Each structure stands twice: as C-alpha cells, then as structure tokens.
C-alpha cells in the first residue's frame, strides 16, 4: 500500500491494488461513455485514475464508468483508495440538473402508483381465473419476465453475461424470491386490507428495513448513521399508517 497526494487539495490517500472482481458497481453507466474512455486508455497506454470505494463493502463511490472499462479490457487489478462516507475528505455532490431531478421524482411517484395499481389488477386477475393469489402472481411474474427480456434485448444488454449466474453468491439470487413474495403478498392482502392501508404498511416496512440496512451495513450496503431526522420520518410514516388504516372506522 502506498500513500499519494491527489489533486490540488494536497489530501493524502492510501492506495492499494485490488482485484476488479472485488469491486461493486454502484450506479448505471452509459455504454457510449465506457467505449470513449476505453478507446482513450488503449490509445494512451496508461491508466491514471484511482477508484475511491467504500472501505467495508467495496461499493464504488466514483468511477463506475472506468470500472466497466477495466472489465472490458480484461484488467485484473485496479488502484483503489478505500474510504468511509464519514471521512472528512469525502463529499457527496448532486451532479444532476434540476430538470432531470424533477423527472426522477415524477418517475418515482409513477412507480408507486403502478405498484398500487398492480395489486388491484392482480386481484381482478385472480377472480377471473377462479384460482388463488398464487396463480395470479405466477401469471403476473411470467408476463413481467417476458417484458423484461424484450426490454433487455432491445436496450443492448448483453444477455451472454447471464452465464455468470453460475458463479454468483446464492444470496444475491434471493431478490427474485423476495420479488415473488411481494407480488403474491400484495395480491393476497389488497382485498383484505384495502389498497391504501396495504401500501402504507408496505412503505413502513420498507423505510424501517432501509434504516436497518444503512445502520449495520448489511448485504454490503455502505454504513450510514441513523440521524434523528430520519427517526422522526419513520415515526411520521407510522402515524400515517395508523390514520390510513383506522381512519375510516
């Protein structure tokens, strides 16, 4: 491990060479930008960028495009500076334009509305089929899988990468089971609790579990302290759930 001073700030960072396979991508990348960076690195014959990662988990703080360049070029090791989000040298900036941020908020609201609508639709599907919530959930999941397949096909995703599933940690495949549980659970609960009450309880569970994941860094997530304001947020969500669930009685 060596110590370097980076940029004009004069701040020192401990840098070590880490296996590319040990790093974890933290955001989506633009394939055109990856190609542009890759071509430049090949042309110059030099890699001159250190990748900052979260110390405990290996999540990439900055440099996801260059990480993908490294994989594309078949590199085995990268220069890495391991940091914590509580480090005074680390600052998180919002690089998105205000217009784009607004669109992302609208998209998130749309997704929330889609979840509520999905529960109602699956309940109607269950009645039409004459079966239970499991059968309706199966149909929903199969159709969703076909939809995602065609989206991947037309978006340029490399389906050949799926062969790597054979080497993946089985824990990382539990997302599919949890997704199926979510679809089945919402289909089962919507007619019994009402869509509004059910979604409120789902949000409460999501926020609570998210805080636990952040607090203890579970499943490789970066550790973040639970601030008082966040606790108040959960309390307000709980109050909202009670009001929504029992406000009509």
pLDDT tens digits, one per residue of 146-184: 999 999 888 877 788 788 888 888 888 888 889 899 999
Distance, CA of 102 to CA of 225 (rounded, Å): 27
Residue 8 confidence class, pLDDT cut points 50, 70, 90: very low
| Beta bridge partner(s), residue 14 | 3
Q: Which of 13-17, 43-47, 102-106, 209-213 has the lowest mean pLDDT?
A: 102-106
- Mean pLDDT along residues 80-96: 70
Residue 97 confidence class, pLDDT cut points 50, 70, 90: low
| Beta bridge partner(s), residue 13 | 4
Q: Evaluate if residue 200 carries a pLDDT over 80.
A: yes
Of 106, 95, 13, the C-alpha closest to 52 is 13
The pLDDT assigned to 75 comes to 92
């Amino acid at each position: 491990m060596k110590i370097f001073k980076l940029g004009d700030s004069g701040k020192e960072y401990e840098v070590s060479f880490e296996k590319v396979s040990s790093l974890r991508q933290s955001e989506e990348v633009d394939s055109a930008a990856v190609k542009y960076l890759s071509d430049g690195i090949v042309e110059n014959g030099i890699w001159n960028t250190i990748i900052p990662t979260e110390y405990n988990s290996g999540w990439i703080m900055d440099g996801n495009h260059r990480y993908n360049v490294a994989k594309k070029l078949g590199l085995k090791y990268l220069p890495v500076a391991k940091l914590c989000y509580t480090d005074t040298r680390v600052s998180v900036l919002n690089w998105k334009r205000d217009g784009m941020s607004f669109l992302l908020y609208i998209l998130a609201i749309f997704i929330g509305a889609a979840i509520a609508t999905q529960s109602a639709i699956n309940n109607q599907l269950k009645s039409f089929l004459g079966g239970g919530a499991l059968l309706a959930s199966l149909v929903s999941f199969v159709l969703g899988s076909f939809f995602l397949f065609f989206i991947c096909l037309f978006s340029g995703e490399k389906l050949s990468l799926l062969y790597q599933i054979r080497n993946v940690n089985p824990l990382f495949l539990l997302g599919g089971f949890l997704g199926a549980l979510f679809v089945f659970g919402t289909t089962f609960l919507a007619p019994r609790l009402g869509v509004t009450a059910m979604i409120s309880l789902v949000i409460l569970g999501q926020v609570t579990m998210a805080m636990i994941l952040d607090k203890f860094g579970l499943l490789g997530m970066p550790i973040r302290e639970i601030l008082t304001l966040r606790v108040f947020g959960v309390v307000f969500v709980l109050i909202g759930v009670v009001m929504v669930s029992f406000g009509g009685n």
